[in-house]
Structure 1
Amino acid sequence: MDTDKDLAAENALGGFLRARRARLRPEDVGIPASGRRRVPGLRREEVAALAGVSSDYYTRLEQGREQHPSQQLLEAVARALRLDDEAAAHLCRVAGPATRRTRRAPRVERVAPHLRRLLDTWRDTPALVLSPALDLLARNRLANALHADFAEADNLLRMTFLDPVARHFHRDWDRAAQATVAALRRAAGTDPDDPRLSEVVGELSLKSDDFRMLWARHDVRTKTREAKLFHHSQVGDLELHYESFTVNSARTQQLVVYQAEPGTPSADALTLLGSLSAGPVPARDAASGAVSD
């Protein structure tokens, strides 16, 4: 990907289709393996046959020359590539008409005051607000303490791939890295013209081989709920479950809330972390750099 161009310029549809067919073996879809293949995965003509379209049509689709694929055709391709529901929805998003718009100026993301106050009321639960590019727009005191090992807690991708602390903080770094990139890929499919997304992808592509490899996989995933395994330098191991919510007053923002299972060592460790960080309750606004007290 040319990091000087925005995300739409990379032919997101073609990249997604190529990445997904490269991950399927002929035997995965009932095609007898015959001879040695020059490249991994299925051939274009094999995907076309599975989807019930001509090889020429599928080639145009993958090359970005077919601008108006029908919903029925996209569903057939999704079945041929064995896509799950979320990946199939992403396929439909990136297959939309590639009308180019005027390059947008970066949007200043601001967290509403009432939402910042809500974060501050959760004294026993780490809570934060994320932008589509996974910038940490606001966080409460306990979320601040949770990420205290990082040199700068500003963006989940930069923290995961560029700060060496991440390899110790995430007890399963590979899983955390995959999930973070997949969340960014989904956001890019929703709004490929977002200049902040392009900026983050460009920076990480230049600075991290691991990011480039995962970005090329075109995995797609929404941050909803999951267990996260952390290791904090002050309180040790933590297993925290998170829930992610769309902020209706700012629908591009996500509210993420972590909690430990009651009565577990993780709950004790989270309580200890709260006591160690007792004091004013900051909720940092990435747009202004301000911290609420």
Structure 2
Amino acid sequence: MLEPMTAKQVVLAEYLRARRSALKPEDVGLPPDPQRRVQGLRREEVAERAGISLEYYVRIEQGQNHRISEQVLDALARALDLDESGRSYLYRLALPSPFDTRPVRPDHEVSELLRSMLDQWAGTAAVIFDRNQDLLFVNTLAAALSPGYVVPGNNYVEMMFGTPAENRSNERWRDTASDTVAALRFHADPDDPRLQQLVAKLTPDPDFAAMWAAHEARPFSSGLAPNFVEGYGWVELPFQVLDVPDGLFMNVIVCEPDSPAGFAIEHLLARLRAPDEFDESDAPQSEASAEAGAEPSAAAR
């Protein structure tokens, strides 16, 4: 009798099938075949490239193999042309990890020391969140950047797909949403009930469903995010995501002083220091300020 598949084995099987389907024959040096009826590579082509038997590969792809050696994983990563992030994700799905042994904690706690440190960063916006992208702690400047959205208890992925359908047509939204979903898949634990709850809630959204089914997996990194600053307008804010203790992450907005982003932060700080004295008519307005809407800022991620 076959042993029941764990959530990780199910995801591993799905990931291998998705990566196989995403590869074109010409991507791996095979001649294009107009008669090919399979999207991507065939199972036998992956098995041959990895130097393993077709039967063994089929068992892995069907989640029936419970122990895979690092040598085989390395061969599969090469066969599927995985980048460093994809290789890391493949290893985490297939090999035992700390997620399998550490006790489940329903709620992460941000240490008082870390909270105190971020509160003292008066000129730096910072947010602490977990592997499911649930926000745990938000300092004053970060809360002011996206009032009503970036607050503890909210979730980055839910906020991203809370954007109305009519505002999703631009390429920037799709890129940011894709990165958000890829980071959720890369960092979250498939056995975590919170992840399962989040995915079930968002799957009816066709954009989320398509991005989740693509099985892209990338870690949090850095980049530019458009953000509407009240009284200033739209501005690109540079962000960097850092690891912090207890498996948590910190998103930090880091701006050069004499840059549009730096001016926007200074404008917001002036509002926070003296809200009753600040004159909006003196604030510079970006050309895009008229486009401000009700959707959440992308600077959250």
- TM-score (ref. length: structure 1): 0.82
Q: Residue 238 of structure 1 corresponds to which residue in structure 2?
A: 235
Aligned with residue 252 of structure 2, among 229, 248, 257? 257
Q: Residue 92 of structure 1 corresponds to which residue in structure 2?
A: 91
Aligned with residue 270 of structure 1, among 242, 265, 270? 265
Conservation of the 8 A alpha-carbon contact between 2:9 and 2:93: no
Query: For 1:228, what is the secondary structure of its paired residue?
Result: strand
Q: Residue 120 of structure 1 corresponds to which residue in structure 2?
A: 119
Query: For 1:37, what is the secondary structure of its paired residue?
Result: coil
Shift of 1:157: 0.4
CA distance in 2 between counterparts of 1:7 and 1:156 reads 27
Q: Work out which of the two has the higher radius of gyration on C-alpha atoms and give 1 or 2.
A: 2
CA distance in 2 between counterparts of 1:8 and 1:167 reads 34
Conservation of the 8 A alpha-carbon contact between 2:143 and 2:151: no
Conservation of the 8 A alpha-carbon contact between 2:229 and 2:264: no
The question of 1:214 aligning with 2:208 is answered no
| Structure 2: stretches of 5+ with no match in the other structure | 276-301
Cα shift readout 1:142-178 (whole Å, capped 9, x = no counterpart):
110112264977110010002439948x981111101
CA 1:159/1:26 → structure 2, altered by over 3 Å: closer, same or farther? same
CA distance in 1 between counterparts of 2:136 and 2:127 reads 7
Q: Residue 110 of structure 2 corresponds to which residue in structure 1?
A: 111
Q: Which amino acid aligns with 1:228?
A: A
Q: Which amino acid aligns with 1:118?
A: M
Cα shift readout 1:228-286 (whole Å, capped 9, x = no counterpart):
233445422222222222222x2x21122111222111211121122234479xxxxxx
| Structure 1: stretches of 5+ with no match in the other structure | 1-5, 281-293
Higher relative contact order (CA 8 A, sep 6+): 1
How many corresponding residue pairs?
267
Cα shift readout 1:194-228 (whole Å, capped 9, x = no counterpart):
2212221121113x111111111111111132222
Q: Which amino acid aligns with 1:273?
A: L
Query: For 1:172, what is the secondary structure of its paired residue?
Result: helix
CA 1:279/1:157 → structure 2, altered by over 3 Å: closer, same or farther? farther
Conservation of the 8 A alpha-carbon contact between 1:67 and 1:97: no
CA distance in 1 between counterparts of 2:141 and 2:171 reads 20
Q: Percent identity?
A: 39
- TM-score (ref. length: structure 2): 0.80
